[in-house]
A and B are shown apart, each in its own frame.
Chain A
Amino acid sequence: MKNTAGRLKRATGAPASGIAADLNPSERSSESALAEPAAQSGISLSGVSKAYPVNGEMIPVLKNINLDIKQGEFISLVGPSGCGKTTTLRIIADLISPSSGTVLIGGQTPRQARLKRRYGMVFQSAVLYDWRTVIKNVMLPLEIMKLPKQEQQQRAEAMLDMVGLKNYAAHYPGQLSGGMQQRVGIARALALKPDILLMDEPFSALDEFTREKLHEDLLQIWQKTHKTIVFVTHNIAEAVYLSDRVCVMSPHPGRISNIIEIGLPRPRNPQAKTSATFSAYVNLVRSSFEGV
């Protein structure tokens, strides 16, 4: 595994402290409300492989994945369809177990991390509950946690506020646009106050305008909450724009072919996408795929 990070260096040191000064007072108060005890939330995969039996034969889907995700890092997994991005995410989420290798989430096994509700998940479709109002959707994980009703309500309201849907609490999902539904899905994932967000192509079903708006919102939420975000996408520009590092995966069998550190300064704004450095990173990612 070659690391090209040296070629394009990071421009800014501490991104989170830089943005804190720009926050208006109300945002700052919600920041303190959302601040969690900084549990160790790095994710480390070492020697992770996964194979599925197909017609009696074991087909390797992931082969020897080694990846260290730092606490508070925004990392993207990019790669063509079938390269095992979702599989990797599902292994981290304890939805499937690896055939071999170890996964540690802040020193815990995926199962321990799941039961401690340390991660929130967002899928390509919002997977909302049609029969629940928006706020009830966000409260769902809190009901499962058996939090006091009062706190459920307050937390859900704070999360809806964060994704800009404060005024839609009483609506049903069917009354919202696709982008708004996806925001509800994000609010629901955040409601658990997880250290980690696992997002599987969360914006790929959205139109360009909505997607760009959600990029900005997600970056803002990330700056406010310092979560570790693992973001799966097959959109290279999206990965470069959002991430600290982009992990390029290649198929047959799924493997990491490159990890690229994105040195674009933080906070980022859409302007950054027009810069020459941005295109250079996009090209670098594109040229990192193997055997496609």
Chain B
Amino acid sequence: MKQQPKSKIQSKPGFASLTQAKWPVTLVWLIGLILIWELAAFEVAQTKRTPENVLPHLYQIIAAAFSGKKVTNNLTATQVVLINAASTLLRAGQGFVIGVAFGYLLALLMSLSKIVEKIAFPYLMLIQMIPILGMAPIVLSITGDINRSRIVIAAILTFYPIAANCLAGFKAVEPQKHELMYSYGANKFQLYTKTMIPATWPYFFTGLKISAPLAITASILVDTLQGGGGLGSMLSQSLKHAMSVYVFWLIIFFVAFIGMFSFYLMGVLEAWLCPYRKWEKGGNEA
């Protein structure tokens, strides 16, 4: 590992330094995971469960990813995963964007008006309490279209972490900053554009990092509601046939990767849009 010079000016906003420090941990973690997996796979193979290869060896899964063998509908395992992933991720992405926009807007309105906050907050809590599967029929009956309701559900799940985090961000602005703006004779618009909204960016990104994987998981879950394409439907179907067990595992790995990647992507976005964040300390007070 390279010693980073302590000079605050020179240090790049790089992710390289971050991964540099973390790779040994990642390696140990990965080896441990492979070890556990393989032990479990041997155990499953010996005890002959049904379907027989419910937990295949890792090399079998990797081989399945690259094999040209048709699994269903004249498609290879990898093709099945990618085609279904496209529709699921598209819905997740659409829901995510809508949820983020509405979440931030609601946080902004709640910050602007105590009345809006008092009215909206219980609903916000309520939405959070209803299980997705309970929400689905309601949303479906409102939108009247399964695909649209899948997007809406992804949006609803994205919405809450964004709204809650950004509201916390608006509230965390130090009273002295309000006083400064007041002493400058700033109007409400200036207060928000110069102080409040920029102050919420770190909270916004925290919300994004929670929401992005959530939108994907939710999207997969609601795939199973009615037939049609999507990773979720493939997951529930594939486990029933010994042939397509590999598809099941490929999807699991793919989803895990995409989930982590979406989290990582939000971090990259944050580092790019908020370069000042890397110098942040506990605060300037002490």
Contacts and interface: CB of A to CB of B under 8 A. Distances in A.
B279 interface: yes
Nearest to B178: A95
B278 to A, nearest CB: 8
B194 A144 contact: yes
A95 B181 CA distance: 11
Interface in B169-206: 174, 176-177, 179-186, 190, 194-195, 198-199, 201
Interface stretch (A117-125, A230-238, A251-259): A117-125
A129 B285 contact: no
A127 B183 contact: no
Given A125-B285, A129-B195, A144-B186, A172 B279 contact: yes
B9 A171 contact: yes
Contacts of B278: 174
A250 B174 CA distance: 28
Most buried by A among B186, B190, B276, B286: B276
A121 B198 contact: no
Interface residues of B, number: 31
A128 B284 contact: yes
Contacts of B182: 95, 114
B201 A131 contact: yes
B9 to A, nearest CB: 7
A273 B37 CA distance: 73
B280 A127 contact: no
A114 B185 contact: yes
B280 A144 contact: no
Given A125-B283, A128-B284, A174-B280, A115 B9 contact: no
A143 interface: yes
Nearest to B7: A175
- Taking chain A's interface residues, is the majority helix, strand, or loop, or is none over half, making it mixed? loop
B286 A130 contact: no
A125 B284 CA distance: 6
A140 B275 CA distance: 19
A4 to B, nearest CB: 34
Contacts of A173: 276, 279, 284
A140 B194 CA distance: 8
B181 A181 contact: no
The 4 A-B residue pairs with the shortest CB-CB distance in the complex, in nearest-first order: A174-B279, A144-B184, A172-B276, A127-B176
B276 A174 contact: yes
B2 interface: no
B125 interface: no
A192 B180 CA distance: 12
A214 interface: no
A126 B284 contact: yes
A205 interface: yes
A131 B177 contact: no
B92 to A, nearest CB: 30
B118 interface: no
B176 A93 contact: no
Interface string A247-289: 0000000000000000000000000000000000000000000
Contact of A175 (B8, B183, B190): B8
B9 A144 contact: no
B274 interface: yes
A192 B184 contact: yes
B169 to A, nearest CB: 12
20 contacts: A94-B183, A95-B179, A95-B182, A95-B183, A114-B182, A117-B184, A121-B179, A121-B183, A125-B176, A127-B174, A127-B176, A127-B177, A128-B284, A129-B177, A130-B277, A131-B198, A173-B279, A173-B284, A174-B281, A175-B279
Interface in B251-286: 274-281, 283-286
A283 to B, nearest CB: 31
Contacts of B285: 124-125, 205
Interface in A177-193: 178, 181, 192
A145 interface: yes
Contacts of B186: 144
A191 to B, nearest CB: 10
Contacts of A131: 198-199, 201, 274, 276
B232 to A, nearest CB: 40
A119 B195 contact: no
Contacts of A192: 184
A115 B198 contact: no
A171 B284 CA distance: 15
A42 interface: no
A60 interface: no
Contacts of A125: 176, 283-285
A141 interface: yes
Contacts of A174: 8, 276, 278-281
A279 B280 CA distance: 41
A115 B174 CA distance: 22
B194 A143 contact: yes
Nearest to A111: B185
A208 to B, nearest CB: 15
Most buried by B among A117, A121, A131: A131
Nearest to B8: A175
